[in-house]
Amino acid sequence: MGAISTTVERDVDLIVRNNFRLSVDLWNWCAAQRVPYIYASSAATYGDGRRGFEDAFDDSALRALRPLNPYGWSKHVFDRWVRAEQDAGRAEPPKWAGLKFFNVYGPNEYHKGNQRSVAVQLFEQIRDDDAARLFKSDDPDYPDGGQTRDFVWVGDCVSVALWLLDADTAPSSLYNVGSGTARTFEDKARITFDLLGKPANIEYIDLPDKLRGKYQYFTLAALGKLRQAGYDKPTTSLEDGLKAYVHGYLMSDDSFR
């Protein structure tokens, strides 16, 4: 699960060492020792989403994807390496799954600086400044703050990972892990204002130059494959997830509990 997850890292050698070669080493060790292997892929592998968000594992579908940054590229390269290993008939772990996590939020991310989820960053802005800052849109199809994401509560991610470890009938493959619902950043801000009992006050700021042309405006996890594999637990709504996070952790005396 550990990796360089920032989408603006440009040291590709560093990303290759941490995100690709380490994943290969762990895969080979698990194959040799017969240990199940659950690893984090990413929704960043889907790029701008024009080719959809289906978690297909055939080579033609994988070849069609175009990640927008080195982080997404590194995750995609490992997914494709796994596909090549299978096609070559080489040893693999007795059970494995690559989890294409969408926009995860939840407790114990506080050490991640600017890579913390938007949920905690909006909470701090609203708590401290009575205002939320969202990116302006440079895509005419989306209003300012209307960029959408599949925001997924970290508890749902844990639930899927643990289920896959125990589910003997689930095929080894790639699986999307999201809520199955696309919501806007403005939705997220307004819910957080309500949870803090403050009137909505949203400021729109320019998209940084380093993100222009590399910014996802829409993500939505297709969960059919996961459901077909047998996972039947409902996903957590954005309202319920943010309430659990804000009231249960961020406003608690012990945010790590």
- Is residue 75 annotated as part of the catalytic site, yes or no? no
- Annotation says 71 is catalytic: yes
Catalytic residue among 71, 105, 245, 249: 71
Torsion angles phi and psi, residue 43, rounded to 5: -65, -15
- Which residues lie closer than 8 Å to 243 by C-beta, 6 or more apart? 195
If we measure between CA atoms, which residue out of 89, 99, 101 comes closest to residue 31?
89
C-alpha distances (whole Å) from 101 to each of 69, 139, 164, 210, 214 are 16, 25, 14, 23, 18
Do 156 and 80 meet the contact criterion of CB atoms below 8 Å apart? no
**Residue bearing tokens 């012990």:** 254
Instruction: Please give the full DSSP string across 76-127, using - where no structure is assigned.
Output: HHHHHHHHHHHHHT----SSEEEEEE-EEE-SS-GGGGGGS-HHHHHHHHHH
Contact 178, 221 (CB under 8 A): yes
Q: Are strands 148-149 and 183-184 parallel, antiparallel or unpaired?
A: antiparallel
Active-site residues: which are they? 71, 112
